[in-house]
Amino acid sequence: MSEYVFTLSSGEEIPVIITTRRGVRNITLRPKVRPRRAVYISKPWLVSESAAIKFLVSKQKWVECTFDKCPVHVELSAGDVIEFLGRRVELVHDATARGNRYSEDGSQLIIGGDVHMFERRVRDFIKAEFLREVKAMIRSVPREFWPKRIALRDTTSRWGSCSSTGTMSFSWRLAFAPTDVMRYVVMHELAHVRHMNHSPEFWATVGELYGFGVERAKRWLVQHGGELHRYF
């Protein structure tokens, strides 16, 4: 595995990690933003690294567009204000507090424990609140649509999925989306209980469960989905 540097038009230097793999026929590019912004290239044995870099340069517009949609990671600390699940709260650290909780007026999220675990505790709190909200949304529809199991994921390309075994998965980062957009994804996956496809009948069921505004929610995810990965 070799590492190079690719310079964006903005001047930002992005690490490039090249891996040679057996059995692949084409060069593949995978821009990633976590745990750091980097471009991963897989190439066949017979393709040189210089050829892989040349291919990357030819795709510069696409790579830059990908990074533009995915904001630079923002580290959270006490005093920051964030929005999730329709709430806007200030993050507060209280080392003497047992557990994590909202303040009485709901304007603050108070995080206890060691300051070095601050971000992790904020993330875990948001994930737990997200799961609770998802369950509440699911309980609002007829029982025939309820999944057998709910799983949380941290995916970059899929906001939700529904398996034939009855497991429904959701990206917990939807917690940072408007609640109507989050609700759209939940209803989308619930509709797959009846239709494991994207047929006209499926979309009719999505509309039946969600109501007016499906296209608006879909459009928001396309335009702003990358912003949901700015934290953690």
Whether the bond into 142 is cis, omega within 30 of 0: no
CA angle 98, 99, 100 (to 5 degrees): 125
**Residue 47 contacts residue 10 (beta carbons within 8 Å):** no
Tell the CATH topology of 81-229.
Zincin-like (3.30.2010)
pLDDT at 214: 97
Q: How far is CA 48 from CA 3, 20, 27, in A?
A: 14, 9, 10
Per-domain residue ranges of the chain: 2-69, 81-229
User: pTM value?
Assistant: 0.77
Q: pLDDT tens digits, the chain, 232 residues: what are they?
A: 778 999 988 888 999 999 998 888 899 998 887 777 899 999 999 999 999 999 999 999 999 888 877 777 789 999 999 999 999 999 999 999 989 999 999 999 999 999 999 999 999 999 999 999 999 999 999 999 999 999 999 987 689 999 999 999 999 999 999 999 999 999 999 999 999 999 999 999 999 999 999 999 999 998 888 889 889 8
Helices (H), ranges, the chain: 49-58, 60-69, 118-139, 179-191, 200-210, 214-224
Task: State both tokens at 106.
Answer: 């709901």
Q: In a 3-state reduction of DSSP, which class is residue 42?
A: strand
**Residue 209 contacts residue 141 (beta carbons within 8 Å):** yes
Task: State both tokens at 107.
Answer: 């304007």
User: Do the strands 38-43 and 28-32 form a parallel or antiparallel pair, or are they unpaired?
Assistant: antiparallel
